[in-house]
């Protein structure tokens, strides 16, 4: 028997290229020890079986109401509690662990926690963070220890809020707030600088720079053994910056906690957008 | 790069051939982790494992330092055949960095031996007990062997619960080097470097047990009073014992962050730096460096690795002095002097047009009676080969003159003859490798440590390991010469030629003559010999007489490329003499010009004298400091007088203050090019920073274009193509210099002959803006002999006034063992520039007097 794939010499046979109709693979020819090799490719692919739906067929009533059945969904939702958030008219707080914009924290006496180590920048998969470190000097002690972050930028056009930076931070200086309203019309306005990111001063904190609490090391700060500013620190700030608002009898925290320029512009943008969107 | 790939017969400065592999000596076969390997006898196990790709953790081990076995991190399990031939296990793990491989030895590293692995973990745990958790703020964090190997070969968590030993945070060893003792793991790399390599011990191990620490020779730490530990060492500018010119290397080899540099401290982390290889621009040694930069700002430079040149060491100047390239006085746009006499920014097109018009007017003045005609070129001594070549071609083709001289220092016609005869075109004649092999090296007019730092280290290495004898013809034995265990052949300034001629004839110098007569002996002459009439002639005669090989070691990076590129009034590229018509034709064909100027040009001194006399119409000046010239006052007058002055500069200088047109050029980090070492070795380097600044050759090409001449040097590739096409010169060379040394001048009472040389760290322009480095410079002092001091009435430490008709310098006197009636001053120390203040140089007669009392009281 001749090879079945060969075209019929008479030219009357089925053309080889035409998709074969549903047919079983040819059974082995009788009297042959080895079955003919099933030909590869689509040509010889088994035909797909016909489609059968797994959904049970409707009853007659259902079939009758089917054209208006969709309204039932709407109707039933009218009696359920509403989930629509009236953003921005009503702003619902995010979940506590929501990854919002970053914040650079302070110790209880007002010194910055950031030591400028750049580990956040290293961890960042989006290359959104840029840090430069510098020396703390007796005249300019901004964080406990020897080093502080002199430049700190987060580019919110790049940030993907993955949180790897806050995991990398060795001093818990960088954390994420629940603040999510980050919008602005310019690229430059999306790059937050250190003064924009620094956490607001709280009661008992003194605006940095000022010396560390006397007799402590950076480890003591890290362990939380510093619970507030001391009279010596107050005296130092009084001597060097008599007008500092965070001094006792100063203008107060309200005056000290002025948002940074970029943050202020973004806050204004967001406030404007909120106003525009509010009904 | 074509210049490297072309053969020695075609290129102007051919690359060094690849060194042949050393012949195999006796070998040892042993196994590491079951892999059999054959290594030369005496190979350390850790090194053999490295070659097999097996990493053994280590801290104290360094290939260029002697084995110490200090950190114990590289412990391995070792089985070795005993006396009976049976393989026996050594009872305890062995430090593989001090263990030489022996035949049949079986070494099991942490990869195959649980015992070795446990031992290494234990050592790591011990090392980390007192190591602070500084990693986030430590400069080494991210590139720290301790950090890395604690991760790869240490425990994941600490078991140590007690209080760590702490020390006060960094102590300043010098203004540049800071030491955090609590980070130190006592590997002794730094102390071994300063003992074995640099030879200036400035730190050492102190105290015992848990209190053991690295420290300076501070009596309060050491607990003893008296005896200064540094012997004859100078003091640095802060008055402490002088540390070292090579101290920056300890920062680089420190395997933890214990040693850090003040300049780089907390500036960045390794992972945000981009590294570009480079070549140091500070001296003619051509050290390989690594330039680390971030966002277009160079933050630090490290030593690159090049076994043929600087091994892994560089001088502190090469490492720390880079801020000059970004100094605030950097010129960013072309400047043209306006009608009011003020320099004001201009476009390139305008500036080049003004410059071209001025130079054209200088060449062909409208008024035929004008005496100030012709233009000359003073390119300065810091050029790459490409830039030097462009200056030479610009002068000869565009200005049609041989008035071009790259020497911005004391010079002589004899030196020019010597350079043409012996230096130009003879690249890689004497190399660093020859210094390693030489049995004796004679230094003439060269203070190796101050003027050739890497050559100093190579010489010192040979002195220690191969018993090299170093001899020096100088007025006094410097601390550098003492560290080379060198022999001083005392010569008062100006009498060096006499001493050189005495070698071989004078019976008292017979030993020197014998040493120089041995195979492989080398004579290194410095650029300062130009100030000694007959000096170079005597050196050439000495080399012929003894068979020693002669090499010229200039100080600046561009000196050798200037000689090779023909930046001398009587020399064309490749050592072609201007006077030789065949050489001129050869060059004219390559340059595609009808003819080249046939008359030899004028030297720097002559050009400046002509300008001062009103006989020069225009001057093109490259990176040149007037204070470096033999007489800065004459140079200032000359530049004030010259009708038209074009300056190609990186920063504002005394030249740009006087220039009519200032064209900004790129500093080395912002261009690529090729420096040439004193050996004649091309050292190509890539551009590190992105920049719009143009290299000198591009600016000159455009300037020539504005003059209507096509130089064809607009790109590095075109310069290289031309250098390759030009090639070397096999025709006649300039004859040997033969100048008879004159009688030394008579020294009247109360006077002395001035001896002077540059110290490595001084008031140089390329060191500006780096105050930490400046603090490590030697304190400027005047050195005189006890006899001279007694005659003048000055005591040791008292102030001494040295004066000429031009001015007076007052410095603290230090009594030194040196000839009477000689006074030594540093050439360009901060606030005490000899040339600027005295208008004098080595060999001049100066007046001595006791200085004012107040300085004495301060000293």
Asked whether residue A46 carries a pLDDT value surpassing 80, the answer given is no
User: Is B320 inside a domain boundary?
Assistant: no
Asked whether residue A154 carries a pLDDT value surpassing 80, the answer given is yes
Q: Of A10-19, B456-465, B621-630, B713-722, which gets the smallest average pLDDT?
A: A10-19
CA distance B452 to B443: 11
Shortest Cα–Cα distance, B225 to chain A (Å):
32
pLDDT in tens, B571-624: 999 999 999 999 999 999 999 999 899 999 999 999 999 999 999 999 999 999
Percent of chain A with pLDDT over 70: 84
B544 and B569: one domain? no
pLDDT at B204: 83
User: Is A240 inside a domain boundary?
Assistant: yes
Q: Which residues of B touch chain A, with CB atoms under 8 Å apart? A: 136-137, 141-142, 169-170, 265-269, 271-272
Asked whether residue B217 carries a pLDDT value surpassing 70, the answer given is no
Q: Quickly list DSSP for B269-294.
A: -GGG-EEEEEE-SSSTT--EEEEEEE
Asked whether residue B71 carries a pLDDT value surpassing 60, the answer given is yes
Residue set of the binding site of A: 114, 117, 120, 124, 159, 162, 165, 169
CA distance A112 to A136: 11
User: Is A48 inside a domain boundary?
Assistant: no
User: Is A93 inside a domain boundary?
Assistant: no
Q: Are B28 and B101 in contact (CB under 8 A)?
A: yes
User: Is A13 inside a domain boundary?
Assistant: no
Using CB atoms, which residue from A116, A170, A171 is nearest to B266? A116
Asked whether residue B744 carries a pLDDT value surpassing 90, the answer given is no
Using CB atoms, which residue from B137, B269, B272 is nearest to A145? B137
Percent of chain B with pLDDT over 90: 81
CA closest to A149 among chain B residues = B266
Token couple for B514: 């014998």
Q: Which residues of B touch A119 (CB under 8 A)?
A: 136
CA distance A215 to B99: 48
pLDDT in tens, A219-275: 999 999 999 999 999 999 999 999 999 999 889 899 999 999 999 999 999 999 999
Q: Of B83-92, B211-220, B359-368, B602-611, which gets the smallest average pLDDT?
A: B211-220
User: Which residue of A113, A114, A116, A118 is the best one to mutate when testing the B interface, meaning the one whose CB has the most B CBs within 10 A?
Assistant: A118
Strands B27-32 and B106-108: parallel
User: Is B284 inside a domain boundary?
Assistant: no
B439 and B426: one domain? yes
Q: Which residues of A touch B136 (CB under 8 A)?
A: 115, 117, 119, 170-171
* Residue at a domain's end among B106, B125, B144: B125
CA closest to A170 among chain B residues = B136
CA closest to A118 among chain B residues = B269
Residue B264 Cα to chain centre, angstroms: 21
Q: Which residues of A touch chain B, with CB atoms under 8 Å apart? A: 115-119, 121-122, 132-135, 145-147, 170-171
**Among candidate residues B119, B120, B109, the one with its CA nearest the CA of residue B37:** B109
User: Is B571 inside a domain boundary?
Assistant: yes
B428 and B523: one domain? yes
CB contact (8 A) between residue B136 and residue A135? no
Give the CATH number, domain containing residue B595.
3.40.50.740
pLDDT in tens, B802-858: 999 999 999 999 999 999 999 999 999 988 899 999 999 999 999 999 988 655 444
- Burial of B151: CB neighbours in 10 Å, binned 0-12, 13-18, 19+: exposed
Give the CATH number, domain containing residue B799.
2.40.40.20
How many residues make up chain A in this entry?
279
Using CB atoms, which residue from B137, B142, B271 is nearest to A147? B137
CA closest to A218 among chain B residues = B134
Region B361-368 average pLDDT: 88
Q: Regarding predicted confidence, which is higher, B52 or A31?
A: B52
Shortest Cα–Cα distance, B159 to chain A (Å):
18
User: Is B319 inside a domain boundary?
Assistant: no
Beta-carbon neighbour count of residue B470 at 10 Å? 25
User: Is A142 inside a domain boundary?
Assistant: yes
Shortest Cα–Cα distance, A151 to chain B (Å):
11
Using CB atoms, which residue from A118, A145, A170 is nearest to B269? A118
Query: Reduced to 3 states, what is the DSSP secondary structure of residue B77?
Result: strand
User: Is B156 inside a domain boundary?
Assistant: no
User: Is B193 inside a domain boundary?
Assistant: yes
pTM of the full structure = 0.89
Asked whether residue B150 carries a pLDDT value surpassing 60, the answer given is yes
Region B481-503 average pLDDT: 94
Q: Are B769 and B618 in contact (CB under 8 A)?
A: no
CA closest to B170 among chain A residues = A146
Using CB atoms, which residue from B169, B170, B272 is nearest to A118? B272
Q: Which residues of B touch A171 (CB under 8 A)?
A: 136
**Buried residues in B473-483 as b, exposed as e (16+ CB within 10 A):** bbbbbbbbbeb
Give the CATH number, domain containing residue B262.
3.30.70.20
Q: Which residues of B touch A134 (CB under 8 A)?
A: 266-267
Q: Regarding predicted confidence, which is higher, B355 or B769?
A: B355
Q: Of B26-35, B218-227, B718-727, which gets the smallest average pLDDT?
A: B218-227
- Please compute Rg for chain A using Cα positions: 36
pLDDT at B562: 96
Counting the structural domains of chain A, the total is 1
B698 and B602: one domain? yes
pLDDT in tens, B542-559: 999 999 999 999 999 999
Region B663-668 average pLDDT: 97
Q: Regarding predicted confidence, which is higher, B221 or A193?
A: A193
Region B299-309 average pLDDT: 95
pLDDT at A34: 55
Asked whether residue B241 carries a pLDDT value surpassing 90, the answer given is no
User: Is A148 inside a domain boundary?
Assistant: yes
Shortest Cα–Cα distance, A133 to chain B (Å):
5
pLDDT band at B200; cut points 50, 70, 90: confident
CB contact (8 A) between residue A116 and residue B137? yes
CA distance A190 to A183: 7
Region B74-102 average pLDDT: 94
Region A7-18 average pLDDT: 45
Beta-carbon neighbour count of residue B1 at 10 Å? 14
pLDDT in tens, B371-410: 888 999 999 999 999 999 999 999 999 999 999 999 999 9
Q: Which residues of A touch B141 (CB under 8 A)?
A: 117
Q: Which residues of B touch A221 (CB under 8 A)?
A: none
pLDDT at A2: 41
B451 and B481: one domain? yes
Q: How many CB pairs below 8 A link A and B? A: 39
Asked whether residue A48 carries a pLDDT value surpassing 60, the answer given is yes
Asked whether residue B522 carries a pLDDT value surpassing 90, the answer given is yes
B446 and B403: one domain? no
pLDDT at B266: 92
- Burial of A255: CB neighbours in 10 Å, binned 0-12, 13-18, 19+: exposed
User: Which residue of B137, B138, B165, B271 is the best one to mutate when testing the A interface, meaning the one whose CB has the most A CBs within 10 A?
Assistant: B137
B534 and B564: one domain? no
* Residue at a domain's end among B535, B555, B575: B555
Using CB atoms, which residue from A116, A122, A146 is nearest to B169? A146
User: Is B616 inside a domain boundary?
Assistant: yes
Residue set of the binding site of A for [4Fe-4S] cluster: 114, 117, 120, 124, 159, 162, 165, 169
B712 and B580: one domain? yes
pLDDT in tens, A190-202: 999 999 999 999 9
* Residue at a domain's end among B555, B582, B615: B555
Q: Which residues of B touch A170 (CB under 8 A)?
A: 136
Shortest Cα–Cα distance, A263 to chain B (Å):
25
**Among candidate residues A76, A78, A84, A151, the one with its CA nearest the CA of residue A121:** A151
Q: Regarding predicted confidence, which is higher, B680 or A42?
A: B680
pLDDT band at A36; cut points 50, 70, 90: low
B121 and B252: one domain? no
Q: Of A158-167, B528-537, B598-607, B769-778, which gets the smallest average pLDDT?
A: B769-778
pLDDT at B370: 85
CB contact (8 A) between residue B137 and residue A115? yes
Asked whether residue B98 carries a pLDDT value surpassing 90, the answer given is yes
Q: Which residues of A touch B165 (CB under 8 A)?
A: none
**Buried residues in B279-288 as b, exposed as e (16+ CB within 10 A):** bbbbbbbbbb
Q: Which domain holds residue A263?
A: 102-277
Asked whether residue A52 carries a pLDDT value surpassing 90, the answer given is no
Give the CATH number, domain containing residue B428.
3.40.228.10
User: Is A22 inside a domain boundary?
Assistant: no
Asked whether residue B8 carries a pLDDT value surpassing 50, the answer given is no
Using CB atoms, which residue from B170, B267, B272 is nearest to A121? B272
Output the average pLDDT for chain B. Answer: 91
CB contact (8 A) between residue B136 and residue A115? yes
Counting the structural domains of chain B, the total is 5
Q: Which domain holds residue B577?
A: 335-409+560-726
Region A175-204 average pLDDT: 94
Shortest Cα–Cα distance, B266 to chain A (Å):
5
pLDDT band at B485; cut points 50, 70, 90: very high
Q: Which residues of B touch A132 (CB under 8 A)?
A: 267-268
CA distance B765 to B832: 14
pLDDT at B219: 57
Give the CATH number, domain containing residue A111.
3.30.70.3270
B247 and B197: one domain? yes
Asked whether residue B9 carries a pLDDT value surpassing 70, the answer given is no
The residues, any chain, with a CB within 8 Å of residue B695's CB and separated by 6 or more, are: B384, B386, B387, B665, B666, B671, B672, B673, B716
B379 and B515: one domain? no
CB contact (8 A) between residue A133 and residue B169? no
Token couple for A267: 């806050």
Region B332-342 average pLDDT: 95
Asked whether residue B439 carries a pLDDT value surpassing 90, the answer given is yes
B403 and B428: one domain? no
CB contact (8 A) between residue B271 and residue A118? yes
């Amino acid at each position: 028997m001749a090879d079945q794939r060969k075209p019929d010499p008479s030219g009357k046979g089925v053309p080889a290229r035409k998709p074969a109709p549903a047919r079983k693979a040819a059974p082995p020819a009788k009297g042959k020890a080895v079955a003919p090799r099933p030909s590869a490719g689509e040509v010889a692919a088994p035909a797909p079986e016909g489609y059968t739906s797994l959904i049970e067929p409707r009853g007659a009533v259902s079939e009758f109401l089917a054209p208006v059945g969709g309204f039932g969904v709407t109707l039933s939702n009218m009696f359920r509690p509403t989930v629509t958030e009236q953003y921005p008219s009503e702003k619902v707080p995010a979940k506590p662990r929501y990854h919002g914009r970053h914040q650079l924290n302070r110790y209880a006496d007002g010194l910055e926690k950031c030591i400028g180590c750049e580990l956040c920048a290293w961890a960042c998969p989006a290359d959104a963070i840029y840090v430069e470190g510098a020396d703390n000097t007796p005249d300019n002690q901004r964080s406990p220890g020897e080093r502080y972050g002199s430049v700190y930028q987060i580019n919110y056009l790049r940030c993907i809020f993955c949180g790897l930076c806050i995991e990398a931070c060795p001093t818990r200086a960088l954390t994420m707030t629940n603040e999510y309203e980050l919008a602005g019309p310019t690229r430059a306005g999306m790059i937050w600088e250190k003064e924009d990111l620094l956490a607001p001063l709280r009661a008992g904190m003194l605006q940095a720079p000022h010396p560390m609490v006397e007799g402590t090391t950076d480890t003591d700060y890290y362990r939380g053994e510093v619970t507030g500013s001391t009279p010596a620190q107050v005296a130092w700030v009084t001597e060097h910056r008599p007008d500092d608002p965070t001094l006792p009898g100063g203008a107060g925290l309200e005056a000290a906690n002025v948002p940074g320029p970029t943050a202020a512009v973004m806050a204004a943008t967001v406030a404007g957008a909120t106003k525009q969107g509010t009904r | 790069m074509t210049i490297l790939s072309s053969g020695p017969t075609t290129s102007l400065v051919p690359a060094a051939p690849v060194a042949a592999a050393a012949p195999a000596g006796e070998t040892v076969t042993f196994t590491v982790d079951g892999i059999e390997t054959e290594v030369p006898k005496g190979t350390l196990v850790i090194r053999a494992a490295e070659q097999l790709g097996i990493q053994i953790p280590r801290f104290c081990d360094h290939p260029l330092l002697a084995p110490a076995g200090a950190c114990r991190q590289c412990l391995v399990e070792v089985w070795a055949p005993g006396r009976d031939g049976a393989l026996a296990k050594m009872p305890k793990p062995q430090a593989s960095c001090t263990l030489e491989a022996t035949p049949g030895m079986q070494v099991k590293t942490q990869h195959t031996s649980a015992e070795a692995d446990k031992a290494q973990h234990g050592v790591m745990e011990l090392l980390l007990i007192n190591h602070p958790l500084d990693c986030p703020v430590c400069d080494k964090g991210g590139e720290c062997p301790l950090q890395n190997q604690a991760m790869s070969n240490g425990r994941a968590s600490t078991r140590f619960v007690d209080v760590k030993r702490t020390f006060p945070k960094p102590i300043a060893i010098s203004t540049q080097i800071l030491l955090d003792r609590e980070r130190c793991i006592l590997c002794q790399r730094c102390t071994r470097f300063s003992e074995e390599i640099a030879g200036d011990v400035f730190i050492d191990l102190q105290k015992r047990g848990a209190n053991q620490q690295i420290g300076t020779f501070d009596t309060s730490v050491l607990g003893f009073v008296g005896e200064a530990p540094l012997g004859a060492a100078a003091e640095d500018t802060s008055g402490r014992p002088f540390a070292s010119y090579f101290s920056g290397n300890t920062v680089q080899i420190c395997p933890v962050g214990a040693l850090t540099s003040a300049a780089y401290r907390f500036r960045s982390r390794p992972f945000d730096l981009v590294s570009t290889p480079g070549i140091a621009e500070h001296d003619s040694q051509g050290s390989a460096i690594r330039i680390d930069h971030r966002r277009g700002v160079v933050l630090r430079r490290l030593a690159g690795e090049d076994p043929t040149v600087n091994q892994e060491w560089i001088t502190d100047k090469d490492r720390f002095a880079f801020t000059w390239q970004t100094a605030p006085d950097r010129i960013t746009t072309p400047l043209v002097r306006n009608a009011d006499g003020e320099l004001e920014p201009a476009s390139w097109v305008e500036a080049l047009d003004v410059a071209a018009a001025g130079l054209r007017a200088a060449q062909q003045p409208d008024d035929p009676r004008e005496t100030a005609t012709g233009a000359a070129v003073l390119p300065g001594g810091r050029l790459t080969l490409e830039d030097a070549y462009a200056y030479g071609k610009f002068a000869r083709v565009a200005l049609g003159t041989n008035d071009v001289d790259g020497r911005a220092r004391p010079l002589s016609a004899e030196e020019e003859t010597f350079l043409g005869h012996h230096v130009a075109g003879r690249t890689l004649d004497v190399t660093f490798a020859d210094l390693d092999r030489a049995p004796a090296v004679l230094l003439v007019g060269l203070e190796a440590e101050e003027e050739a730092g890497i050559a100093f280290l190579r010489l010192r290495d040979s002195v220690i390991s191969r018993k090299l004898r170093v001899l020096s013809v100088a007025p006094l034995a410097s601390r550098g010469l003492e560290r080379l265990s060198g022999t001083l052949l005392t010569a008062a300034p100006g009498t060096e030629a006499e001493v050189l001629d005495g070698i071989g004839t004078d019976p008292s110098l017979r030993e020197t003559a014998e040493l120089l007569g041995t195979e492989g002996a080398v004579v290194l002459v410095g650029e300062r010999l130009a100030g000694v009439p007959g000096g170079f002639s005597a050196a050439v005669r000495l080399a012929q007489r003894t068979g020693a090989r002669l090499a010229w070691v200039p100080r600046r990076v561009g000196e050798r490329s200037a000689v090779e590129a023909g930046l001398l009034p009587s020399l064309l590229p490749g050592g072609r003499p201007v006077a030789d018509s065949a050489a001129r034709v050869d060059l004219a064909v390559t340059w595609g010009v009808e003819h080249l100027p046939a008359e030899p040009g004028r030297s720097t001194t002559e050009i400046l004298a002509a300008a001062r006399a009103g006989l020069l119409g225009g001057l093109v000046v490259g990176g040149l400091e007037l204070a470096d010239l033999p007489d800065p006052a004459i140079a200032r007058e000359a530049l004030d007088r010259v009708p038209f002055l074009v300056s190609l500069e990186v920063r504002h200088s005394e030249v740009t203050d006087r220039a009519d047109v200032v064209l900004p050029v790129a500093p080395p980090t912002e261009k690529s090019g090729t420096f040439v070492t004193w050996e004649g070795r091309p050292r190509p380097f890539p551009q590190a920073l992105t920049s719009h600044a143009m290299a000198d050759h591009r600016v000159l090409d455009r300037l020539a274009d504005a003059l209507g001449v096509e130089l064809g040097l607009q790109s590095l590739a075109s310069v290289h193509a031309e250098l390759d096409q030009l090639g070397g010169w096999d025709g006649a060379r300039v004859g040997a210099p033969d100048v008879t040394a004159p009688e030394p001048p008579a020294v009247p009472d109360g006077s002395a002959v001035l001896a002077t040389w540059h110290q490595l760290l001084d008031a140089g322009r390329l060191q500006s803006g780096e105050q930490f480095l400046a603090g490590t410079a030697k304190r400027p002092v005047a050195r005189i002999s006890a006899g001279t001091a007694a005659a003048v009435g000055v005591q040791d430490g008292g102030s001494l006034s040295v004066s000429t008709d031009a001015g007076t310098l007052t410095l603290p006197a230090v009594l030194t063992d040196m000839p009477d009636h000689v006074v030594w001053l540093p050439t360009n120390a901060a606030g005490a520039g000899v040339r600027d203040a005295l208008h004098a140089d080595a060999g001049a007669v100066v007046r001595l007097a006791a200085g004012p009392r107040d300085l004495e009281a301060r000293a």
